Amino acid sequence: MQDKDIILIEWVDSKGMERWEYLDEVDPLLPDTCYSVGFLIEDHAEYKTIALGLGTTQVLGRTTIPMCCIKHITKINAFS
């Protein structure tokens, strides 16, 4: 297994509605703040990719988050 940091990413995601609404009853629809934890498997200048699980030859549950959506990154643990 390659050495990968475990990180916590605080990021902002869009929000949407799936039903009809009356314009005069519409409340603000603010973006959501999200938190994701995982093994950092891709540390790119424009995005970060984390995985929920990491084996010697496989990864499970990849998520890529654009840097423009990321508010904060905290390193949880580093393997060495």
Residues 10-60 have pLDDT tens digits of 999 999 989 999 999 999 999 999 999 999 999 999 999 999 999 999 999
What pLDDT, on the 0 to 100 scale, is given for residue 3?
82
User: pTM of the full predicted structure?
Assistant: 0.85
29 falls within a domain: no
- The answer to whether residue 56 sits within a structural domain is yes
Q: Considering the domain boundaries, does residue 8 fall inside one?
A: yes
Provide the pLDDT for residue 2.
65
Look at residue 63 and tell me if it is in a domain.
yes
Domain, as residue range, for 62: 1-15+41-80
Establish if 70 belongs to a structural domain: yes
Quick check: is 7 in a domain? yes
- What gap in Å lies between CA 31 and CA 14, rounded to an integer? 5
Tell me whether residue 67 is in a domain.
yes
The verdict on residue 35 lying in a domain is: no
Number of domains into which the chain is organized: 1
Q: By C-alpha distance, which of 17, 19, 3, 20 is closest to 79?
A: 3
